[in-house]
Structure formats: C-alpha cells, structure tokens
Amino acid sequence: MSDVLELVDVSVVRDGRALVDDVSWSVKEGERWVILGPNGAGKTTLLNIASSYLFPSTGSAKILGERLGGVGTDVFELRPRIGIAGVAMAEKLPKRQTVLQTVLTAAYGMTATWHEDYEAVDEERARAFLDRLGMTEFLDRKFGTLSEGERKRTLIARAMMTDPELLLLDEPAAGLDLGGREDLVRRLGRLARDPYAPSMVMVTHHVEEIAPGFTHVLMIRQGKVLAAGPMETELSSRNLSLCFGLPLVVEHHGDRYTARGLPLGG
C-alpha cells in the first residue's frame, strides 16, 4: 500500500511557539483516521499541512506521493486531489448560491476550460453526492439559509466532487444536535466502509463522533503526538486521559465509542 500522507519530524512554528511539534505520521491508502485532541492542540494546523495549504517550518511532508516544497511539486495540481470540508471553507462560500451550485463550483474550480458537455455530467455527480448525504430536497435552497447540519452535509458532498484521493474533515459534527450528529455518523460510516471511497482523515473532540469504519486514531496534545495507530489498541482510557489531561474512561459499545470522566474518588 502506498502512502497517502507521510510526515517526518514536522513542526510548525509561529511567534517562537511550535503549534505542531515534531510530528511523524503516516497514512496509507484506504485507511480512515480520526484525529483527537483538545482545543488548540494543533489539529487544524495539521490538516492545513495535509491539504497542502501550509508548509512545515521544519521536517518533511509528502502528500499523495508529492513532497511539499519539493522540486517538481505543484500544489495547484495536488489540491484538486484532496477534498476538504471544514469551517474555513464554509465561510468562503457565497451564501446566495444554491446547494446544487455550491457543490458544482468545486468542479468548476478544477476544470480550467468550461465546456457545456461537462455540465450535465458534473450536475449528475453533484446530485448523486448530495443524494448520498440526504440533501436531495435542498438542491435549490440558498446555502446561507441551511441549518448547521445541512451545511456540513453540503460541504462533504462538495469535497467529494473532485473525486479526491484524500478526504479531510475538520470537526464535521461540531454544532449538530443529537439527531444531526447520529445522522452524520451513519453517513460517514457508510463512506468509511466503502472500499471505493477516498482515504479519510477526520478531526473531532468527541469519541462519540467516531463512525464505524474508521480504522486508526492520532491523538495530539500541545502539538505533540501522544498516540498513533489502530483504533482498537490506541483508543484506550489511558491514552485519552493523557490527551485531554484528566482521568477518562473509554467504552466500546457495539461499533461505537463513548468517553466520560471518572467519578471523584472512584
């Protein structure tokens, strides 16, 4: 299996502080990773490297076989191969565009020459991705009028439009109510278990948001890797407690996880 991501001793330093601190991490084709860590741990910074929008201050990062900052690496060729759904993206998108247009523009951004022949094919794809995310009844709604959950689902459909080899999701379930979260977890689970779906990396704060089908976990705290490896072994009470800095118990129920703080004196 080839490497989708290969970070070796990567640091990102700003104002003399390491936001990402000596991180070595590799993601192989087909793996589905969850990144867990408290607020400010450096999760989004790490995704910014994985999406080729941020270069490491030191160390080396290879994305889909291309070395960031390397001779012959063109980030503009690399970026369409990576799908990103995150808060920063949502803020950049025009609020008055319809849901269908919002997803379609991902394809426009990629095809330099616009041709009417592409239109029908692209629209069909956009509709199919939106359907997969339960958005068919919202195709003509303005993006700016969507609820948080609908917006998140639209962004994931949009990220799929370029047929990426790597899909990066930054807190896709943040701000959703319980029903919205469960619905999204179910859909992400289906995607994660689809052998034709891209390699995936999802950032979250909550183990409850880990969909079945995710295979690996990376835990970071203050920019440093605390644990990285298969979910079954690394998502332990011990690692999670170290990661969040308080005693926690992780439980596995069927194909889902929960975590809670240990009762005082317990």
Ligand X SMILES: Nc1ncnc2c1ncn2[C@@H]1O[C@H](COP(=O)(O)OP(=O)(O)O)[C@@H](O)[C@H]1O
The answer to whether residues 243 and 38 touch, using CB atoms and an 8 Å cutoff, is yes
Binders of ligand X among 139-158, rule CB under 6 A?
A: none
3-state helix, strand, coil in the chain (%, to 5): 40, 30, 35
According to the binding rule CB under 6 A, does residue 41 interact with ligand X?
yes
The residue among 93, 130, 96 whose CA lies nearest residue 108 is 93
Closer of 106 and 248 to ligand X (Cβ): 248
Q: Nearer Cβ to ligand X, position 8 or 174? A: 174
The tokens describing 48, both together, are 């910014």
> Which one of Mg ion, ligand X, none is in contact with 172 (Cβ closer than 5 to 8 A by kind)?
none
Give the residue, chosen from 8, 13, 28, 44, that forms a contact with ligand X under the rule CB under 6 A: 44
3-class secondary structure, 185: helix
| Contact flag: residue 39 with ligand X (CB under 6 A) | yes
In whole angstroms, the minimum distance from the beta carbon of 12 to ligand X comes to 8
Minimum distance from residue 233 beta carbon to ligand X (Å): 23
Only segment of 36-44, 130-138, 227-235, 248-256 that touches ligand X (CB under 6 A): 36-44
Query: Cα(223)–Cα(41) distance, rounded to whole angstroms?
Result: 5
Window 28-67: contact mask with Mg ion (x via CB under 5 A): ---------------xx-----------------------
The answer for residues whose C-beta is within 8 angstroms of residue 103's C-beta and 6 or more apart is 126, 129, 130, 154, 157, 158, 161
Give the binding-site size for Mg ion (rule: CB under 5 A): 2
Tell me how far apart the alpha carbons of residues 157 and 3 are, in angstroms, rounded to a whole number. Answer: 24
- Residue 41 or 130: the one with the smaller Cβ distance to ligand X is 41
Q: Report d(CA 152, CA 16) in Å as an integer.
A: 34
Structure tokens at 193: 């278990």
| Residue 43 touching ligand X (CB under 6 A) | yes
* Residues that bind ligand X in the complex, under the rule CB under 6 A: 14-15, 19, 37, 39-45
